[in-house]
Amino acid sequence: MATFFALAALAANIVTIVLVVLGIMGRLQNRNPFEALRGLTLWFAGTVALAATLGSLYLSEIAHLIPCRYCWFQRIAMYPLVVILLMAAYRRDSMARLYAATIATIGLGIAAYHRFIQAFPDLDSGSCAATGPLCSGYYIKEFGFVTIPYMSLSAFALILTLLWADRINASTNTPAMGTNLGADTTT
């Protein structure tokens, strides 16, 4: 399962990079590159959050890996995203994007820091050791670099990219400022 999760994280990285490149190129050409995803981006983001949540539950409840302190913080950020994003997708509520993006950004920051202290264990203050497993340790290290915090980081990055795509879709759906759609111009 560790290899499967690592491959899923790498796939998330590829999708994130493709979406960012498409988004930047589309915006430079003054067009909406995400038109084909209209109405689906929140569903996809919610599905990513659900998959990450189920993966973390598998690792702790079935594989019996005890989460460290930073893993718990990442879970605290990821778990509510499932409910927020899937409810927002169902209700077609793009305003929830702000709340989801805020939580996902916090989770991304925690995951990035966690991965950083795994790469540089001398910087770990040891705060995790007093309450559980070392935050700088590895349960999983696939392909020489894919760890649990890396998987979390990949999920948060993809969620944020999908929220960005949803924002672009929402902004191209509204008429331009100053447009008078109801005016009679035949006089």
**Above 60 in pLDDT, residue 174?**
no
pLDDT digits (tens, 9 = 90+) for 114-156: 999 999 888 877 766 666 778 888 889 999 999 999 999 999 9
**Encoded amino acid at 150, one letter:** Y
pLDDT digits (tens, 9 = 90+) for 62-113: 999 999 889 999 999 999 999 999 999 999 998 899 999 999 999 999 999 9
**Above 60 in pLDDT, residue 23?**
yes
pLDDT computed for residue 31 by the predictor? 86
CB 150: neighbour CB atoms within 10 A?
Answer: 24
**Above 60 in pLDDT, residue 180?**
no
Q: Half-sphere exposure of residue 25, counting CA atoms within 13 Å on the CB side? A: 8
CA distance 93 to 59: 32
SS3 123: helix
**Above 80 in pLDDT, residue 170?**
yes
pLDDT computed for residue 12 by the predictor? 97
* Bridge partner list, 146: 142
Q: For residue 78, which phi and psi values (nearest 5 degrees)?
A: -80, -45
